[in-house]
Structure 1
Amino acid sequence: MTATEEQTALTYLRPATATDAELSARFQPVFDRVAEGNVQREKDRVLPHEQVGWLKEAGFGRVRIPAGAGGFGASLEQTFALLADLGEADANVAHIWRNHLAFVEDRLNSRSSAGNDRWIQRFLDGEFVGGGWTEANNGTFANLKTNVRRDGDRWLVSGAKFYATGSLYADWLDVLGKGEGDSVLTALVRRNDPGVELVDDWTGFGQRTTASGSATYRDVPAEEGDVFPAGERFVYQGHFYQTAMLSVLAGITRAALRDGIAALKARGRNYPQGLNPEPTEDAQLLQVIGQVSVHAFAARAALRTSSSTLDLIAAAHAAGDEDARKQRVLEAEVATTQAQLTIIEAALQATTTVFDALGASGVSETRLLDRHWRNARTLASHNPRVYKARILGDWLVNETDPVPNLAALGRGGQGN
């Protein structure tokens, strides 16, 4: 065994083996089923428990686990492409998977151990992880109110969280809290343990069925092996979370194109100012659809390009090459930021201008085309794109490090 092979064996990361065709053949039929009833679920705020269940059964939660360990051996680029396909089917269902896929990635990056072996097996068994990091009215690690404290040979978790995306669908909840002194810990607790209370009180006008509401923990037990120092989480965690949202946004952009084409074809008449009495023959309306397709293309290309940089970080980490890993993190920061600006702009433009190709019927609640803009606007508001172009320019002109030091900024990844 070479030194590189020996180092790789210390983690669960392995080179990707899946093909795009294999992954599509397995998951696209499930995505198509998820797409059915999307409009009615959105209209009635029906939580997609059944649809999430189909994805669990299909093994979507283990797509990144190496094939030799029982998963599908997908790369990160392939994983996020699949998430975009799911986002096209239902943006809510896709966003629900963000925290689970991130925790799987975290365990794949970790060193082999009996405790981590148990986590890999849990993923293979279809167990699902929801999130519990953000606290309302609190933006810093230093001010975390949630605590994770020792209680004999286990831990107890107490506190309150908001934006707990996916929690109502989960078997496990990934909770951030203060340990002893200044330490920050993440604890995995069971969703159905006494002391866990989850409420679907998310008030956002988009992403309504993601169950991104509030969570309360009152002396909830966490076992040894299920509590980790937050500082030891995988180094590209922030990039992963951001890219997951960009995947959903890319999917929304394609959904706006799909539904815009269908709505234009369904138009019965054109305005008197039109270039042709048949809407589908009007050059200006066709131009609108053509431009929306450009937005969808840009979003897809940006996602593929930026997500591939995360595969390079994973490879450097698996090889134990710290210098390469640091360089790859910098490159991924730039690429992810550029993708964020590209994809958000594409999604917001596509979901707005598509209506220019439609008549008054385009705003009908039976079509619910406004859901695409509402969902895109909600996802785009998670992270502050307003600062991103400045940071990029400062890097390009002055070589100012674009990688944020969240601990120094006092944000701790909790930006609301």
Structure 2
Amino acid sequence: MSETFVPQVAAPLPLPVSVPPLITSHAQAVAVAQDFAASVRDGAAERDRSRSLPIAEIERYSATGLWGITVPRAYGGPELPIATLAEVIRITSAADPSIGQIPQNHWAFLNMLRAERDEARKAYFFGKVLQGHRFGNALVEMGTKTAADWKTTFTADGDDYIIDGTKFYCTGALFSHFIPTVGRTESGAVLRAIVPRDTPGVTIIDDWSGFGQRTTASGTVKFDKVRVPAFNIIGLGGLREQPLVYGPISQIMQAAIDAGIALGAFEDMLEFIRTKSRPWVDSGKERAAEDPLTISQVGDTRIRLRAADLVLAYAAGVIDDVLQDETVDGIARASLAVAEAKVLTTEVALHASSQLCELAGTSATLGKYNYDRHWRNARVHTLHDPVRWKYYAIGDYALNGTAPPVHSWI
């Protein structure tokens, strides 16, 4: 991170000026994602180097209609499969994983909104998405015992609630029009609010200084006596009793980002070996791409990448199957399938980004290429949820039949 980086208070963003197109099929979504990814790929290295936030790129991304692909059909959306969502994220993340990560909480919130009982509330906020509005997040806090603990307070005041608290890791908030947040009432009840970004008392601070995923703006959101109407409180009248596939959907998005990081590193490695690398002196070859040991290691990385992609697609298919009849057992099955994908995508993201340097050679480490961003992005993003606990969940189920816990991180 540049020593000149100084945290900044983010300015508000304009509201959407046009309604995004409705994407109605997997093939259409993939084609649109590929076109968008191609448009942002060339600028990814420089955005990372200069820490230039992709505000214009996110405006174009949401204008494609891809941010609305999971809106349920009952509320005017296409309700495309999670397999489609995972592929869109993978494609976009291969071009720029910061851009690939920014909408994850938008889609996670839309999934949670399915549990809301109030139909008017659901119709209103799903409708906002179809009009081009973006949702961020302000959920996790620093300094609490775990990521599932909150100090943020919700205080009833007439027909409104007053929110006070400070959040961190707020990926998406800076680019959003609405900021979902969570806190507790005086009685200890957990409430979730959808806070319009321009509400008085909301401050978004661009102070994310992680050495990877530099342009996600995953920094601080402060709520200082922020007043929101009861209509913006999710679950105020209770959430549906049927279990919700929340954790697995949240997790498969993380896995898809890591798969994209791996693909981006792999593609850059191939191009560099073909066009710039020199063969090793003992290989007897004219080109690095003819070096047998290099070829072998490229094959090994390709196999790992293929395996991760296949397990990712399998896990997405399990989620789509479970969504047809959400049960506790089904959610456990989805969690375990996604845990397997998370293990493999974590491993291949770290492996591929390291192999880029190993096989492309010393010249690939020059600052003008900024290839180290692949490893930095992989290392930082794979810390999102500790993969060591995925091994445990998978092993405990296989050995003892113990279902994994139900929360956002499994």
Tell me, yes or no, whether TM beats 0.5.
yes
Percent of pairs with identical residues: 28
Equivalent runs, 1:267-306 vs 2, <5 Å: 267=276, 269-306=278-315
Asked whether 1:49 is paired with 2:51, we answer no
User: Match of 1:198?
Assistant: 204
Matched, 1:76 2:82: yes
The corresponding residue for 1:152 is: 158
- Does residue 223 (structure 1) correspond to residue 229 (structure 2)? The answer is yes
Note the C-alpha offset of 1:33.
0.9
Query: Structure 1 residue 160: deviation in Å?
Result: 0.3
Q: Which amino acid aligns with 1:298?
A: A
- Residue 132 of structure 1 contacts residue 175 of structure 1 at CA under 8 Å; is this kept in 2? yes
Once the two structures are superposed, the pairs formed by residues 264-413 of structure 1 within 5 Å of their partners are 264-267=273-276, 269-317=278-326, 325-404=327-406
Name the Cα RMSD after superposition: 2.2
CA drift of 1:21 comes to 1.9
Give secondary structure in 2 for the equivalent of 1:188: strand
Q: CA deviation at 1:158?
A: 0.8
Paired residues in the alignment total: 385
Moved more, 256-265 or 295-304: 295-304
What is the CA–CA distance in structure 2 between the aligned matches of 1:284 and 1:270, rounded to whole Å?
10
**Equivalent residue letter for 1:207:** Q
Report the Cα distance in structure 2 between the residues aligned to 1:268 and 1:35, rounded to whole angstroms.
22
Superposition map of 1:5-16 within 5 A: none
User: What SS does the aligned partner of 1:225 have?
Assistant: helix
Secondary structure of residue in 2 paired with 1:175: strand
Equivalent position SS for 2:323: helix
Deviations 1:198-237 (A, max 9, x none): 1111121111100100111001122222112498487222
Partner of 2:181: 175
Structure 2 residue matching 1:131: 3-state secondary structure: coil
Instruction: Give the SS at the match of 2:199.
Output: coil
Deviates more, 1:244-253 or 1:354-363: 354-363
TM-score (norm 1): 0.87
The separation in 2 between residues aligned to 1:99 and 1:343, in whole angstroms, is 19
- State whether residues 29 and 66 of structure 2, in contact with CA within 8 Å, keep that contact through their aligned partners in structure 1: no
Which stretch of the first structure deviates more once superposed, 288-297 or 376-385?
288-297
Q: State the AA in 1 paired with 2:319.
A: L
CA–CA distance in structure 1, aligned partners of residues 224 and 124 of structure 2 = 25
Q: Aligned AA for 2:279?
A: N
Please state if 1:123 is matched with 2:129: yes
User: Could you tell which deviates more after superposition, 125-134 or 222-231?
Assistant: 222-231
Please list the CA deviations of residues 238-295 of structure 1 after superposition, one character each: whole Å capped at 9, or x if unmatched. 2222111111100111111110011101225323123413111111112222222222
Offset, 1:330 = 1.2
User: Unaligned regions of 5+ residues in structure 1, if any?
Assistant: 1-16, 318-324, 407-412
Offset of 1:141 from its aligned partner?
7.9
Match of 1:135 among 138, 141, 144: 141
- Change over 3 Å in CA distance of 1:373–1:121 after alignment to 2: same
Deviates more, 1:129-138 or 1:103-112: 103-112
Shift in Å, 1:18 = 4.5
Separation in structure 2 between the aligned mates of residue 59 and residue 87 of structure 1, nearest angstrom:
17
Conservation of the 8 A alpha-carbon contact between 1:289 and 1:354: no
Distance 1:267 1:27, change over 3 A: closer
**Is 1:211 paired with 2:217?**
yes
Q: How far did 1:143 drift?
A: 5.1
State the match for 2:270 in structure 1. Answer: 261
Runs (4 or more) in structure 1 with deviation over 6 Å come to none
Contact 1:139 1:414 in 2 (8 A): no
Contact 1:271–1:277 (CA under 8 A) maintained in structure 2: no
**More deviation in 225-234 or 255-264?**
225-234
Cα distance in 2 for residues equivalent to 1:118 and 1:178: 24
**Are the aligned partners of 1:340 and 1:385 in contact in 2 as well (CA < 8 Å)?**
yes
Pair 141,373 (structure 1): closer, same or farther in 2 beyond 3 Å:
closer
